[in-house]
């Protein structure tokens, strides 16, 4: 009788319908079962995630690599693609050997020890910068990015004439200039570089960075947020692009170099207070994010302003660790919560660049002089020159 029960339970589990892509995702509580009281219960294991060959091939082509799958032979053999692949690969090699190695070294020697081991990273005002997010927080399992730049759509390499892609490759190269040279995306240039016919959004660069860092794409789905704060899958990126939704996003699942399944959510929206007050769905979604770390870089000093209080309060209330340069949250907001935070300072605090000269923080200058700082060893943020950059690791004190 017991063997029959096992078989019946197993068959019932195997015939359960899987969740459709368009369904709303809900928080799932871990199943509770007592293996001693119910020894016959069998919980089927989910199959291991596998790379999507088509998406991984697209990511390889976007990042200038050879298409190992052979799905797009005409593209890979085209002279324009070969030229782009050769020039960008050289460019990336220089970036890898002169900058990425320093970022990885800092992560291993400093961030790994000082940053709380939360599994979610929150990165507002990120642009498509999954690059620094994954290099500085490689142990995160979920990355939540927020920016103004649109999501866009993936190129259709199957139907596109290979000779017509020369302008696309040029646009890709141009859109990468700031992040590769200065470590941040410039908002003004992004409004042009990621809003054109060829490169129409952040999706292109997200795929490029993920692939160049050794990840394999499992899925990429257009998403929005419903009024209750749940993720809703859209039918296509084209539908997402032409909709009038307040929140447009993409969910990318990928396998890291060591085979770990990770999720990145990128949301295109306006994060100023008056816009978020009208966007109840996304504010409800923010309320579901708990136990996270925050990264802020090249954030245009927006969180210094009174009218970015919703995002700022979310960060201050929910973050275990905040890693930021001086363009993130102003020191005065931390000091209002006396005794709750401890600071580890790196680099040098100098006056902001001329565009943001009014955002000089006298109290931060005093903190750097009083507490002292450790060498950073690389340029970061608006003051990207090595000896002018600053970085703060701000940890919530444990009781």
**Coil, strand or helix: which one is 101?**
helix
**Which residues does 51 contact at the CB level (< 8 Å), separation at least 6?**
216, 217, 218, 255
Q: Which residues of 212-238 are buried (b: 16+ CB within 10 A; e: fewer)?
A: bbebbbbebbbbbbeeebbbbbbeebe
Q: What is the pLDDT of residue 240?
A: 96
Contact 134, 103 (CB under 8 A): no
* Confidence (pTM): 0.85
Q: What is the pLDDT of residue 44?
A: 59
**Parts of the chain with a pLDDT under 50:** 1-39, 183-187, 190-191, 193-194
248-255 β-sheet, strand order: 231-233, 216-225, 248-255, 261-268, 142-147, 120-124, 292-296, 319-324, 390-396, 341-347
SS3 of 365-377:
HHHHHHHCCECCC
Q: What is the pLDDT of residue 175?
A: 76
Candidates 19, 22, 24, 27; CA nearest to 289 is 27
Beta partners for 221?
251
Instruction: Report residue 233 as tokens.
Output: 């899958």
Q: What is the pLDDT of residue 37?
A: 42
**Which residues does 155 contact at the CB level (< 8 Å), separation at least 6?**
58, 62, 165, 168, 204
198-254 pLDDT, tens digit per residue, is 788 899 999 999 999 999 999 999 999 999 999 999 999 999 999 999 999 999 999
Candidates 30, 60, 373; CA nearest to 214 is 60
Instruction: State how far the Cα of 138 lies from the Cα of 119, in Å rounded to an integer.
Output: 10
């Amino acid at each position: 009788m017991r063997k029959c029960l096992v078989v019946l339970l197993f068959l019932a589990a195997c015939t359960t319908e899987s969740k459709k892509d368009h369904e709303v995702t809900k928080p799932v509580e871990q199943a509770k079962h007592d293996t001693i009281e119910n020894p016959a219960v069998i919980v089927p294991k989910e199959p291991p995630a596998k790379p999507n060959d088509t998406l991984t091939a697209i990511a390889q082509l976007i990042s200038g690599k050879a298409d190992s799958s052979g799905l797009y032979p005409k593209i890979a053999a085209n002279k324009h693609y070969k030229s782009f692949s050769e020039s960008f690969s050289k460019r990336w090699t220089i970036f890898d050997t002169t900058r990425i190695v320093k970022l990885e070294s800092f992560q291993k020697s400093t961030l790994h020890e000082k940053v709380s081991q939360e599994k979610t990273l929150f990165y507002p005002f990120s642009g498509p910068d999954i690059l620094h997010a994954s290099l500085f927080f490689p142990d995160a399992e979920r990355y939540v990015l927020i920016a103004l730049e649109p999501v866009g759509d993936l190129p259709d390499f199957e139907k596109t004439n290979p000779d017509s892609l020369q302008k696309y490759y040029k646009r890709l190269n141009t859109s990468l200039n700031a992040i590769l040279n200065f470590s941040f995306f410039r908002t003004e240039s992004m409004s042009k570089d990621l809003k054109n016919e060829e490169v129409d959004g952040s999706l292109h660069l997200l795929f490029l960075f993920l692939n160049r860092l050794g990840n394999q794409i499992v899925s990429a789905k257009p998403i929005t947020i419903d009024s209750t704060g749940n993720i809703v899958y859209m039918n296509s990126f084209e539908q997402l692009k032409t909709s009038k939704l307040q929140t447009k996003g993409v969910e990318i699942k990928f396998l890291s170099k060591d085979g770990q399944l990770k999720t990145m959510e990128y949301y295109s929206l306006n994060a100023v207070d008056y816009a978020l007050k009208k966007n109840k769905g996304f504010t409800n979604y923010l309320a579901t994010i708990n136990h996270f770390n925050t990264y802020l870089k090249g954030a245009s000093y927006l969180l210094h302003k009174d009218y970015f209080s919703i995002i700022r309060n979310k960060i201050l209330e929910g973050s275990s660790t905040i890693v930021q340069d001086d363009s993130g949250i102003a020191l005065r907001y931390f000091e209002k919560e006396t005794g709750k935070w401890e600071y580890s300072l790196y680099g040098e605090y100098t006056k902001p660049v001329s565009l943001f000269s009014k955002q000089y923080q006298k109290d931060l200058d005093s903190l750097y002089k009083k507490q002292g700082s450790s060498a950073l060893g690389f340029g970061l943020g608006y003051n990207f020159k090595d000896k002018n950059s600053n970085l703060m690791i701000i940890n919530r004190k444990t009781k």
